[in-house]
Structure 1
């Protein structure tokens, strides 16, 4: 397992967690909540784990927990305690059953801290996120068993290379995540393109809270009408099943039916998939604007998935082979 990053000054920890600097110092000196390393210049340097713990401790103390009883707990223990508290609170308020949270696994303790401390500003009040699993990196996520079955995977990596891309897709398949979001600083374009084709939402940092909230909303259903199909009722948009190459091949196959259904359906899927990807990337001017683009992305994604099912029916009728990409080939390093 990689060594936790320890390069945050106390001011950065305060900004990321929402805890005042003075409070962080009290928690450290009186309750030994943190044990920062010292730089060569004798400055305290806090890790991503410290940022996460500060955010979790803040939420727990605001809910009535004593700092003296939780200061020594690790991030995973604090997160479990917070989940237990939220579950009990939700059970005591049956009228909010329709607003059950969406479960999420997060790779990157810094990203987990950001999610825990910023959910209000992410615009996820109607569909709150519940972080059930936190992993330090992809290697830890690959080897650690899940204590639950989260629906969404959120990954934060510095470098999105061929190995990281392959690990992400294997992680999604191994644990049956229904949606995945990847944020990265540096990446190889073929890897990014391959993940997008697999249905993964990929964005390059920096990503603001508003943009992150829009991105998360784009993988969640914002409208649950009786007309939606079974795969829509789970609240998530299915990933793409067919590549542009497969759709182009189908569109150019000579059909025995006069209406040329294979060509029309394949072209519609291509257009819907393009718009699905474009909507979250479109320039937004406000929170409402961001929510609108997230809604457009979910609508186009669901329509695309419906037409994929229609294409399968047409292909079966016309004896056209389809190549569904459950595991996409990665470019060589």
Structure 2
């Protein structure tokens, strides 16, 4: 049986809600502390690591390889919400699987088995095929002229606001632990709305933080990123109200 170690804010609550999802996988460790993971997991000798990072951009590129090396695991499944392409390209394709989360334990189970199967079905080197040389690409277009900051609802502005959002967004109502429980909740009827709404709210929470970390070239960039943050936070608050109604209707304990 494959040995799996889980590190992430929502994994423990997902396991409590749906322990049968990983029925043919031996979960040797599950927790939220990376320090506890470093201290305790190597003795468990896991085959696969499942690592959930809400802010993958903020994770040093050597963290995942170090966790693999210290635990002697053969594979790592890394889930994230949003990340720059340059960050994703830092991870070796052979040992690290990158998935945009949050994901259910059932989907995680499938990727655990696929990761192990990679060791059995290692691809053979493809034959080298030579293609005719293509003409060089045209020179890049000159950069656009700098623009002034966007003023929402200003007379003659290029971008007009059609939705009113609060200047100070409401804080998130749901923790990652609660969203993890909802992600695994099984309804008595053919309805998976709690699972999908949980994913939507979690993704919106993550994009709020992601938009605050984007680089700004000028005041116009800063204005746009502030706009994205406020609109995303407002969308998250609206979807949280919808999730509130669903949780109350289904009597889901959190």
TM range (shorter): 0.3 to 0.5
Taking structure 1 as the reference length, the TM-score comes to 0.33
Q: TM-score by structure 2 length?
A: 0.42
Q: Bigger relative contact order, structure 1 or 2, given CA contacts below 8 A and separation 6+?
A: 2
Higher helix share: 1
